[in-house]
Structure 1
Amino acid sequence: MARVLLIIAIVMLTVYCVVEVAQARGYKVRLMPRWLWAFAVVCLPVLGPVAWLTLGRPIKSNPSIDRGPRAPDDDEDFLRGLR
């Protein structure tokens, strides 16, 4: 039973990482091209996904940095000018 759960966990991790590699922007992926990461994740059952999660994932930007309004309806000055 433990072997079955281990195999299911490895398959789920691999599927998760394949989907994440497919959705990642090619120019933000680190160390290797995206296609090579996909190949590594699929061909190296445990090592590939772990390497992707630790070394290849794009670094998320810091959302706490205020970059100003993203849309016109988020800008209070713009909304005041509409009246």
Structure 2
Amino acid sequence: MLRALMYILPLALTIYAFIDCLNTPEDEAKHLPKIAWVFIILLFWVVGPIVWLAAGKLRRAPAGGRTPSEWHRNHRHEWVAPDDNPEFLKSLKDENKQDEAVLKDWEADLRRREEELKKREQGDDAKDGDS
């Protein structure tokens, strides 16, 4: 197990440093261009990642939200529950008014059809009584 750790630990360090280097903006790479740091990390398996982590990039929080975590810290939106959101409540009222209008139209149409049916039945009954 200890032998495997001798290979896994440097490999994990190399992968971490490589991804960290790729995610670092070009202007935050110190001393060398970023592409040079990538080659150093990949070619010098143990020393390259350590040098990158120690001296390869600026270790301060970047201004302007260039990293995803910084952007999320600066662009937080207050989420409001639906029952506290006035726009959502207004949309519900508008939908409710539309639904009520449709329902009234349906009810009026149903009443009209029922009246027509009653008139037909009364007319049929009067014809049957005459014959």
Check whether TM > 0.5: yes
Q: 1:51 Cα deviation (Å)?
A: 0.2
TM-score (norm 2): 0.46
Q: 1:61 Cα deviation (Å)?
A: 3.3
Alignment of 1:14-33 (within 5 A): 14-33=14-33
Within 1, Cα distance between the matches of 2:61 and 2:11? 29
Alignment of 1:1-83 (within 5 A): 1-61=1-61, 70=74
Deviation per residue, 1:22-55 (Å, 9 max, x gap): 0000011101100000000000011100000001
Q: Extract unaligned runs of 5+ from structure 1.
A: 63-69, 74-83
Within 2, Cα distance between the matches of 1:9 and 1:32? 26
Q: Extract unaligned runs of 5+ from structure 2.
A: 63-73, 78-131
* Residues 24 and 58, structure 1, Cα contact 8 Å, conserved in 2: no
Higher relative contact order (CA 8 A, sep 6+): 1
- Aligned-partner residue type, residue 48 of structure 2: G
* Residues 28 and 58, structure 1, Cα contact 8 Å, conserved in 2: yes
Q: 1:2 Cα deviation (Å)?
A: 1.4
Q: How many residues align?
A: 66
Counterpart position of 2:84:
none
Within 2, Cα distance between the matches of 1:5 and 1:59? 28
- Larger Rg over CA atoms: 2
Runs of 4+ in 1 over 3 A off after TM superposition: none
Instruction: Give 1 or 2: higher helix fraction.
Output: 2
Identity, in percent, stands at 25
